[in-house]
């Protein structure tokens, strides 16, 4: 499966590191409200947690980190919060880009990017181009992303190819659908992590998480640390993945 192991880090040495970790970064608003602060303050603290976790994933040898920053449904929030979030995403990426590049991280973004503010679209293109050859962690930022939107966009792309006579409808397989998603080059997430305690998917990577191990943690995103990430990876290591089959222990002779 291509998972790597960390060596020389004491108790961590035996842990299998998920190749692809996907995170629903949730709980910023509650973190702020609990402190009598405006919600935007929670998003600013959430950015610090994102920085910590990206760094930790690079150190631990994670292959891909997908982070959910803004959903297609999040436009429904008050205009000030939407504007604040778009500004923060752009500012954070601008500030982090040198560091990402220096740490060999390859940046990509997934979502309906053409609906984002023009300045953010330009920055995303710049970040993707600048880091395209980097061999380290792939950081996949999900922004204006919806799982259903992604599947609908894939259906549109396939329909156009059928209309152009390039493919026969009978040849549309799961693999072909997957090839028309936003980031077909990525492996599917091994672990789906949701801080903030909510037991739902909120339209995140609906196709790709078919067999991901789900880990929900009560800690709010602004409080999330490398230790929480390691705790989640430990939980992942206790899971027995079967992909619909049987384990060798259970298998009848």
Q: So which residues are the catalytic ones?
A: 26, 74
Q: Does 204 bind Mg ion (CB under 5 A)?
A: no
Minimum distance of Mg ion from residue 228's CB (angstroms): 17
Decide if 17 contacts 4 (C-beta within 8 A).
yes
Q: Does 150 bind ligand IPE (CB under 6 A)?
A: no
From the list Mg ion, ligand IPE, none, which binds 128 (C-beta under 5 to 8 Å, kind-based)?
Answer: none
Q: Does 208 bind Mg ion (CB under 5 A)?
A: no
Q: Spell out the residues 6+ positions from residue 122 whose beta carbon is closer than 8 angstroms to its own.
A: none
Q: Does 85 bind ligand IPE (CB under 6 A)?
A: yes
Question: Angle 101-109-90 (CA atoms, 0-180°, nearest 5)?
Answer: 70
Residues 134 and 20: their CA atoms lie apart, in Å, by 17
Minimum distance of ligand IPE from residue 25's CB (angstroms): 5
Selected binder of ligand IPE within 19, 28, 110, 212 (CB under 6 A): 28
Q: Does 26 bind ligand IPE (CB under 6 A)?
A: yes
Q: How many residues bind ligand IPE (CB under 6 A)?
A: 17
Q: Which two tokens stand for residue 129?
A: 């181009």
Binding mask 189-218 for ligand IPE (x = CB under 6 A): -------x-x-x-x----------------
Minimum distance of Mg ion from residue 49's CB (angstroms): 14
- Choose between 18 and 29: whose C-beta lies nearer to ligand IPE: 29
- 243-252 long-range contacts, CB within 8 A, separation 24+: 243/211
**Touching ligand IPE, residues 56-75 (CB under 6 A):** 68-71, 74
H-run or E-run covering 142: strand 138-145
Q: Which two tokens stand for residue 134?
A: 């980097």
Q: Does 25 bind ligand IPE (CB under 6 A)?
A: yes
219: three-class secondary structure by DSSP: coil
Nearest CA among 2, 16, 55 for reference residue 234: 16
**Touching Mg ion, residues 10-49 (CB under 5 A):** 26
From the list ligand IPE, Mg ion, none, which binds 30 (C-beta under 5 to 8 Å, kind-based)?
Answer: ligand IPE
Q: Does 224 bind ligand IPE (CB under 6 A)?
A: no
> How many CB atoms within 10 Å of residue 232?
23
Decide if 226 contacts 52 (C-beta within 8 A).
yes
**Residue 225 to residues 194, 206, 230, Cα–Cα distance (Å):** 13, 26, 9
Q: Which residues bind ligand IPE (CB under 6 A)?
A: 24-30, 68-71, 74, 85, 196, 198, 200, 202
């Amino acid at each position: 499966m291509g998972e790597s192991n960390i060596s020389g880090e004491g108790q961590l040495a035996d842990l299998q590191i998920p190749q692809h970790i996907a995170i629903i970064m949730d709980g910023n608003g509650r973190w702020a409200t609990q402190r009598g602060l405006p919600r935007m303050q929670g998003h600013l603290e959430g950015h610090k947690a994102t920085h910590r976790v990206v760094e930790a994933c690079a150190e631990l040898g994670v292959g891909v980190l997908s982070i959910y920053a803004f959903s297609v449904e999040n436009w429904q929030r008050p205009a000030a919060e939407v504007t604040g979030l778009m500004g923060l995403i752009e500012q954070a990426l601008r500030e982090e880009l040198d560091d990402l590049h220096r740490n060999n991280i390859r940046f990509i973004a997934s979502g309906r990017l053409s609906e984002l503010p023009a300045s953010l679209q330009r920055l995303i293109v710049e970040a993707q181009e600048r880091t395209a050859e980097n061999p380290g962690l792939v950081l996949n930022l999900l922004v204006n992303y919806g799982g259903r939107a992604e599947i609908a966009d894939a259906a549109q792309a396939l329909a156009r190819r059928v209309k152009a006579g390039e493919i026969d409808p009978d040849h549309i397989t799961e693999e072909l659908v997957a090839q028309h998603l936003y980031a077909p080059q990525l492996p599917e997430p091994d672990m789906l992590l949701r801080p903030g305690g909510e037991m739902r998917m909120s339209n995140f990577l609906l196709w790709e998480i078919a067999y991901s191990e789900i880990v929900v943690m009560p800690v709010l995103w602004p409080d999330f640390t490398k230790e929480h990430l390691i705790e989640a990876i430990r939980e992942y290591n206790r899971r027995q993945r079967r992909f619909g089959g049987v384990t060798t222990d259970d298998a009848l002779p």
